[in-house]
């Protein structure tokens, strides 16, 4: 009687190669995850820096008087804030001031009444911080500067 005894010692070359191929695919997947997670972290970090920069400029501006030149109607650049250094990841920072008026026939504050007295004492400021991530990005902060408060 002929008995076939299957050899169960170790792996065949084919088995070892299949195992290595599966391992390689797994490592590639982990590597892809690692790369996208690193990108995500960098993006979040840049956004955080942009937010903190905007906040800092906002604080600096609001501490100035209503009549200060930083609140003159029109466009302004960060150079007007002497000594303010932008972090390396920030491209530009600027703000635009619009003087509300009680004679421009516009309901500037959107309260339903056009050109009432209080529209004359407010400046509308749009602060923009730009930076480059995968593409150019910007962050905007809008605020009002009142002569009264
Ligand atoms: Ca109004
Ligand atoms: Ca008005
Ligand atoms: Ca009003």
- pLDDT tens-digit map of 88-145: 999 999 999 999 999 999 999 899 999 999 899 999 999 999 999 989 999 999 999 9
Is 24 a member of any domain?
yes
pLDDT, tens only, 13-26: 999 999 999 999 99
Q: Which ligand is nearest to the CA of 118?
A: 3
pLDDT at 7 over 90: no
Can you give the pLDDT at residue 148?
78
Is 2 a member of any domain?
no
Is 8 a member of any domain?
no
Is 42 a member of any domain?
yes
Is 19 a member of any domain?
yes
- 76: CA distance to ligand 1 center in Å? 26
Mean pLDDT of 57-80: 96
State which residues form the domain around 101. Answer: 13-146
Mean pLDDT of 56-82: 96
Is 70 a member of any domain?
yes
- 119: CA distance to ligand 3 center in Å? 6
- 36: CA distance to ligand 2 center in Å? 49
Can you give the pLDDT at residue 11?
84
Q: How many domains does the chain have?
A: 1
Q: What is d(CA 129, CA 53) in angstroms, rounded to the nearest whole number?
A: 8
Is 118 a member of any domain?
yes
Can you give the pLDDT at residue 1?
63
5-37: b or e for each residue (b if 16 or more CB lie within 10 Å)? eeeeeeeeeeeeeeeeeeeeeeeeeeeeeeeee
């Amino acid at each position: 009687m002929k008995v076939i005894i299957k050899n169960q010692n170790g792996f065949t070359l084919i088995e070892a190669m299949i195992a290595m191929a599966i391992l390689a695919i797994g490592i590639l997947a982990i590597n892809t995850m690692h790369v996208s997670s690193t990108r995500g972290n960098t993006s979040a970090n840049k956004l955080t820096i942009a937010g903190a920069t905007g906040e800092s400029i906002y604080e600096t501006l609001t501490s100035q008087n209503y009549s200060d030149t930083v609140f003159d109607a029109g466009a302004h650049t960060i150079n007007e804030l002497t000594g303010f250094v932008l972090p390396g990841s920030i491209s530009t920072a600027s703000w635009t001031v619009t003087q509300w008026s009680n004679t421009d026939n516009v309901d500037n504050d959107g309260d339903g009444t056009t050109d009432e007295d209080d529209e004359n004492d407010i400046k509308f400021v749009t602060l923009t911080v730009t930076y480059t991530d995968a593409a150019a990005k910007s962050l905007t902060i809008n605020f009002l500067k009142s002569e009264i408060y």
